[in-house]
Amino acid sequence: MVFVIGHRGAKAYEPENTLRSLARALTFGVDAVEVDVRACKDGALVVIHDETVDRTTNGKGKVKDLTLNQLKRLDAGMGEKIPLLSEVLDFVKGKSMLLIEIKEKGIEDRVVKEVIDRDMLGDVVFISFYHTSIAKVKDLAPKSKTGIIFTCEPVDPADLAVKAKAEVLLPSYMTLTEHVVKKAHEKGLMVYTWVLNKPEEIIAALELGVDGFASDKPDLAVEYAKKQRTLLTW
């Protein structure tokens, strides 16, 4: 069974990383939604991808230089506000799995605490480009599910994931190969690739044997995942 992830919710249709976007993704029947987390000036954990608010809101400036109050006054698209991680956790609880990408070092303990405080450790996969952050998450919460993201192979990504005690390897589609999938599976890792928005990309990734994938178009993703499941039952 392929694990389908709504990338930043339903990014192709709604303002990314907003509650509206997550809600839209869930209507398509995804297995999980993915969000990005970083800290603002006063330490609050907010859900936004970029270091700045320029691209996704009507404001300007770095997230780390803006207070939560300043961030909450911005329009993140269609009247949506930049959500707190706590708001996202409360929203998805009991509805789907959640992948939390840790966008910067030094916030791991607070991210883990937010999840544990809501008894959601079993519903979350912590992911990051920083393998040291993932190793820290494992130290803080040994029973957590974690994954390493990568876009190139300066070192062996599967070995890096194993050393960080991760369960999932998340290669970009551009770096996805049969070798990457095979090596990961040999080491007991699941493979979730990203971001697949075209039918031919989804088909190619499924043929390589990935365990899951993220898409900006969750409806398309679910459609093709269902087709694969149907083929497997014959």
- Residue 10 belongs to a domain with what CATH number? 3.20.20.190
Residue-number span of the structural domain to which 225 is assigned: 3-37+97-233
CA 77/CA 210 separation, integer angstroms: 33
Q: Which of 49, 131, 179, 185 is catalytic?
A: 49
Q: Which of 7, 131, 179, 185 is catalytic?
A: 7
| Residue 89 located in a structural domain | no
How many folded domains does the chain comprise? 1
Contact yes or no for 25/10 (Cβ under 8 A): yes
Radius of gyration of the chain (CA): 17
Torsion of CA 141, 146, 151, 157, to 10 degrees: 90
Residue 21 CB burial class (10 angstroms; 0-12, 13-18, ≥19):
buried
| Residue 57 located in a structural domain | no
Tell whether omega for the bond before 162 is within 30 degrees of 0, i.e. cis.
no
| Residue 47 located in a structural domain | no
| Residue 209 located in a structural domain | yes
Asked if 49 is an active-site residue, the reply is yes
| Residue 125 located in a structural domain | yes
Convert the pLDDT of each residue in 91-126 to its tens digit. Answer: 999 999 999 999 999 999 999 999 999 999 999 999
Convert the pLDDT of each residue in 32-89 to its tens digit. Answer: 999 999 999 999 999 999 999 999 999 999 999 999 999 999 999 999 999 999 999 9
Q: Quote the mean pLDDT of the chain.
A: 96
| Proportion of the chain above pLDDT 70, given as a percent | 97
Asked if 7 is an active-site residue, the reply is yes
Q: What is the pLDDT of residue 229?
A: 66
| Residue 61 located in a structural domain | no
